[in-house]
Every structure is written in C-alpha cells, then in structure tokens.
Structure 1
Amino acid sequence: MDYVSPKEVAVTMMQAAVTKSSLQVRDLLIRGCLSGALLAISVTLACLATSQTGFSLIGALVFPVGFIIIVLLGLELVTGSFSLVPLAYFERSISGGTMLRNLFWVFTGNLIGSVAFAVLFWCATSEMGTVAVAGPIEKMLVTIAERKTIGYAAHGGAGLFSAFIKAILCNWMVCMGVVMAMTSQSTVGKIIAAGIPIFIFFALGYEHAVVNMFVIPAGMMFGADVSLSDWWLYNQLIVTLGNIIGGLLFTGMAIFYTFGKKSDRLSSTPSNSL
C-alpha cells in the first residue's frame, strides 16, 4: 500500500536525520543553495499569482511547488532539518558538533541560494539597474520587506515577540510537511501530503527564515527602507530561533517520541556515532 504508518514514519525520521548528518560540506552547500533558490522562486510565483488575481489564497496555493521539489529531490532546507537532525543527537547517534556542523552549512547554503536568486531577479527585472522598476511583484517585495523588519520594530518588544511566535507557528507547519511527505511512497502522495501544511503557513502569513532570506534582501534591492542590521536584528535571528523551537518541539520531538518505540529507535540507530 502507498500509505506509511506513523510508527514507520518515526523510524524514517531517525534514518533521515542520520543520513543528513553524514553528508559532506560540499553536498550540504549545493543542496542548501538549490533549496534557498527554489523557495525564492516560489515566493516570486506566489507574488505574481496574488497580484494578478487579487487573492492571497491563490498565491498560497502555488507557493508549495518549491518545497515539493525540495522534498522530491532530497535537497537540504535548514528549517526542515531543525526538526530531524537534533533527534539524532538526542538519541546519541551523532555528536553535538556534527549536529551544529550540519545545521550551519545548510543555513549558509540556503542563505547563498536565496540571496543569489534575489540578485538574479533584480538583474532580470531592472536590466542591471538601468530601468526603474515599479511592477506589482517588486512593490509587493518592498512592502513585505518593510513590514517584516521595521514594521515589527515600530511596535518594540511586542512586535519582535510577535515575529518570534509567528516563526514558531510557521515551522510547526513546515516540518509537518517534511514528516507528512514520509507518509506516502508515491510521488503524487508525497506532493499532496507535503503541500498541505506549506499552504497553511503561507496563507496565514507566518515567518519562515529561508523565505525571509530572499524577501527582505530582494525588497532592499528594489528600494525598501531597510538596512542590513534591520534585516538581521528585527527578523532573521529572531525568526530562525522561533523556527528551531517550532519545528523541533511541535513536530520533530512530538511525532518521533509519540510514535517511535524505544526498541524501534534503538534498532534504527547505527552503532557508530558520526
């Protein structure tokens, strides 16, 4: 049958965590860059759909395409890794250094890919800065970049705490998409199962660290009143922390320690630590 039970998913989660942790830096960077760029492309597509239809839900419906490609190709998205890789550390399958090494290089790859696509998109639409761009997608990116940074800062601690909570809620759903993809053995099943939680987070406007790696610098390139420090202090660092908590606590640990029997976890753990 196509369906994979939650107990089997729990075993797959640990196997995936150990496999991810064994990847070389080169592979983490390449797969991370591709993931960052694919999510950036999805954001651009979602902005186009929203601007053409006037309905943000249409944008949310098309946004999951990038995430689905990432899942099907086995690429590396740090927000998804937040829910899996630490599990291997908790179960003593890998060292703390291996865990941090994996998350650092995937984060770096995602950042490079996201910013690289932002630069390419700016070059394409502004013709290397020689054309004044005021299209709907560019305007939307500027508005979003300012709302996600100085918009939060304008409300002080309450605004920043709001960003933090939105980040927790976001990666709860994103990591649920990662795990849901494991409940099916077919391509179609994985597409549907992974896409549903991603649609939810994007439609509700929550905060995703890798999405913001594109949206904010792209908005800055098109004239958003946002500085580099605004980007990192009022959004990126706070959102990344919230994503870690939401993905690990509400999805990774919750699913794994509910459905994974101790005997199953031990049998799926390699004898040697990475």
Structure 2
Amino acid sequence: MAYLAPSEFVTKMVDAGESKIFMSTRDTVIRAYMAGAILALAAWFAITINVQTGNILIGALLFPVGFCMLNLLGFDLLTGVFVLTPLAWLNRRSGVTIGGVLRNWGLVFLGNFAGALTTAFLMAFVTTFGFTQSPDKVGAVIGNIGEARTLGYASHGAAGMVTLFFRGVLCNWMVSTGVVGAMISTTVPGKVIAMWMPILVFFYMVFEHSVVNMFLFPAGLMLHAPFSIMDYFIWNEIPTVLGNLVGGLAFTGLTLYATHVMTAPKRELASPAPRRIAA
C-alpha cells in the first residue's frame, strides 16, 4: 500500500480545500447530495444489522462501507469540508476568502441535508409499506433514536447541551481523520483501511455526526416519534454542527497543518566544544 508521508498528504488536504472552494455551485450541491444520501443509507444499513443481530459492534464494523464509497466517488460531507477548506485560506491560496469558505459550507450543508432527507423518506416509506401501517422493528428503533437524542439531552439542561457539543467534537475528530485517511495512500485498499478505522470508532462510540443526524431525526419525525422539528434543531443538529466544526478543525486540520506545513525550524545540534589538551 503506497503510503504518502505526512508532509505530502497534508499538502493534498490544502489542495483539496482550495479545489472545493472554487467548485461550481452545481457540482458542489450534487456531490454533497450524494454524500448525504449514501451516508444515510449506510446508517440505515448499520441499524438494520444491529436490530437483526442484537450486536452493535457488527453494525459499527460495517457502517464505514458508506463513508468509503462516498469518498472514493469524490462526494463531499460537511464534516470533511469543515476541515479542508479553512486550510486553503490559512495557506493564503490565491483568491481564497472567508466568504468562499462559508459559501462552500452552506452549499454542502444544503446538499447533505437534501440527500439524507431523500433516504429518510425512502426508509420511512419502505418500513411502513407506504405509511399504511406502523413501522417495522428497524423503523421503530430509528424513531426511538430521535427521541432519545433530542429530549434525552434536553432533560439534562445545560449539561445536556454541553455533552451534545462534546460528542460532536469527538465525532469529527474521528470522521475528519477518516477524510485524511483517504489521502494517505495511492491504492484503493490503503485508502479504505485508513478510512475504516476512525469511522468504526465514531459509530461504535455513538458520537454525534451532523449528516447522519440529518437522516435519523427527520426519519423519526416521519415515523411520528414524539419530538418536534425545533427539538431536533435546538437539541441536536445545531450543537452537533458546531461541535463537528470545532472537533475536525482543532484536532485534525490545524494540528496537521501546523506541524507538517507550517513547521518550526529544526533545532541544530551545537558543535562540541574543542577539547583542551593539557600542557
């Protein structure tokens, strides 16, 4: 598996961030839409495995297949562009502005949301036979997830909000490491292995991923779970997005950039003092 040195793949991160900022609106939205739809499908797949096997580790082991697929196809998640595009600005790439970074984030958010919402509707339709009956076991579990991870946090007040934010931070520490993993090898097996490991950690640890939640919570609402749209945005999506931004940028993007692009001068070893020879 051809491995790239950190100085090489971090430069690729900056290049990727620059490319995404200057991408057309059409391409940005299409790629984000497909990323949201595929990641949502992977979440549905993993929850189905959990329900059928009763073992959440198996679902976590297989969930990364969706992340690997969307990255190999060149699609974009909000959690990824949170890390990559600011690096192009920090590197002072020509024409890159804060406005361009924010434009990219906004378009990717909308595209991810639309894609995840599409999969959520398909899941809700399939698990209820076109909304003609109560959801099956998988649909019921997805509805319960939405309730537990909105009203559950709200029941703890400020402590629940901070916990939610920190779970978002921890999530994108791992997910953004997976984004970087796609760049550290020039072979498909190498990319997949490097992406698989941190995504497994995030999913098994039940951290909060803004794009996965764009599927889980609207799906729960479609299945009449007992929480509201405002519950979803205030007690999950907004704090999760902010946590994902901080976690990915602070723990992955800035640390790699600081030590592999903006490196400090290497310490030169002082020459040993000449030894005096006694007269």
Q: What TM-score, normalized to structure 1?
A: 0.93
Give the equivalent residue in structure 2 for 1:103: 105
Give the equivalent residue in structure 1 for 2:220: 219
Larger Rg belongs to: 2
Q: What whole-Å deviation, never above 9, does each CA across 1:78-105 have from its counterpart, x for those lacking one?
A: 1011111011122222111111111100
- Does residue 83 of the first structure (1) align with residue 103 of the second (2)? no
- 1:10-89 equivalent positions in 2, closer than 5 A: 10-89=10-89
- 1:170-189 equivalent positions in 2, closer than 5 A: 170-189=171-190
How much has 1:124 moved relative to structure 2?
Answer: 2.1
- Does residue 7 of the first structure (1) align with residue 7 of the second (2)? yes
How much has 1:197 moved relative to structure 2?
Answer: 0.3
How much has 1:199 moved relative to structure 2?
Answer: 0.3
| SS of equivalent residue, structure 2 residue 23 | coil
- Does residue 229 of the first structure (1) align with residue 239 of the second (2)? no
Q: Which has the higher contact order (CA 8 A, sep 6+)?
A: 1
d(CA) in 1 for partners of 2:263 and 2:14? 12
Gaps of at least 5 residues in structure 2 are 265-279
Q: What whole-Å deviation, never above 9, does each CA across 1:194-223 have from its counterpart, x for those lacking one?
A: 111000000000000000000011111112
- Does residue 118 of the first structure (1) align with residue 108 of the second (2)? no
Give the equivalent residue in structure 1 for 2:201: 200
d(CA) in 1 for partners of 2:90 and 2:15? 13
How much has 1:130 moved relative to structure 2?
Answer: 1.3
Match for 1:205: what amino acid? V
Match for 1:167: what amino acid? G
Gaps of at least 5 residues in structure 1 are 264-274
d(CA) in 2 for partners of 1:214 and 1:82? 19
Q: What whole-Å deviation, never above 9, does each CA across 1:89-143 have from its counterpart, x for those lacking one?
A: 222221111111111000100000001111122122222211222x221121011
Match for 1:95: what amino acid? T
d(CA) in 1 for partners of 2:53 and 2:256? 37
Q: What TM-score, normalized to structure 2?
A: 0.91
Match for 1:99: what amino acid? V
| SS of equivalent residue, structure 1 residue 177 | helix
How much has 1:6 moved relative to structure 2?
Answer: 0.6
Match for 1:73: what amino acid? L
Match for 1:54: what amino acid? G
Match for 2:166: what amino acid? I
Give the equivalent residue in structure 2 for 1:156: 157
Give the equivalent residue in structure 1 for 2:268: none
How well do the aligned residues superpose, as a CA RMSD in angstroms?
Answer: 1.3
| SS of equivalent residue, structure 1 residue 129 | coil
d(CA) in 1 for partners of 2:262 and 2:154? 45
Identity percentage of aligned residues? 42
More helix by share: 1
8 Å contact from structure 2 (residues 28, 104) kept in 1: yes
8 Å contact from structure 2 (residues 127, 138) kept in 1: no
Match for 2:113: what amino acid? L
